[in-house]
Amino acid sequence: SPSKKGTKALSMRALLIFLPAAAGFQARAPWVSGMRRATSLHSAVEEKAAIDPRLAATRAAQKELMAPILASTPAGSPKETFVKNLNAFMEDYAESSYEAGYEKENFVEIIGSLLKNVASNMKSPYTFEPFHRAIEAPYDYYRWAQSFFNTLIEWDKSPCEGAANLAKINDMVAKGDNVILLANHQTEGDPQVLTLMMEKLGYEDLAKKVVFVAGHRVTTDP
C-alpha cells in the first residue's frame, strides 16, 4: 500500500502460492534419479496395458517412435547412454500421458514434435532475441509446451493459495498498469506451470500476457 512518502511499502507475504504435485513417474524414472525402476512397476504397467487398449496403444506408439532411433545407435557409443535415457523418459511419459487422459494421437503429436524439433535444433540451434515472443504460427509452440507439461502435474494434489489476487492483477493489467511477480525459485518449467494454473483458474488471456525474465543459460544451454 502507498506510504505517506508516496513510495510503495514492500510486503513479504506471498500473493500467490502454487504447490504443483509432479506426476509420480518422475520419482522412479532412471533419467531423473539414476535408479532402476522396480520390476513391480513394469508388472503394474503391463497389467494396465492388458486391460486398457488406450494405454496399450500409447505404449505401442512410443516403441514405434523410438525404434528407428534405437536401431541407428551403435552399441558402446557415447550416444547410447543418451538414447537409453531418452527411451526411459519416453516410456514413463507414455504412461503419464495416459494417466492424464490423453489419447495415443495426443502422445504422438507431443513427442513426435519434440523429437523433430530437438533434431532440427541440434543441427541449427534457434537464436533467441533478448525479448522473445511466444511462437504460435505456423506451429504453436506455446500450446505444445502447455500440453507437454499438463501431463506432468497431478492437479487434484496441487493446491493454489491466493488465487483471488489474480483478479486484482487482472484488473490492474486491464487498466494499463504493470505487475511484477518475484518468484522464490525458478526452473525451466515454471512458465508452463504458472500459465497452466492461470488457465485453469479462468485467466488464459492474462497468462499469455506474462513476461518471464530468465538468465542466459535458459536460452543458450543445449
Confidence of residue 163 (pLDDT cuts 50, 70, 90): confident
pLDDT at 117 over 50: yes
By mean pLDDT, which of 16-25, 114-123, 132-141 is the weakest? 16-25
Q: Whole-number mean pLDDT of the chain?
A: 78
Output the pLDDT for position 82: 86
Read off the C-alpha cell for 30. 532412471
Q: Reduced to 3 states, what is the DSSP secondary structure of residue 114?
A: helix
Output the pLDDT for position 173: 93
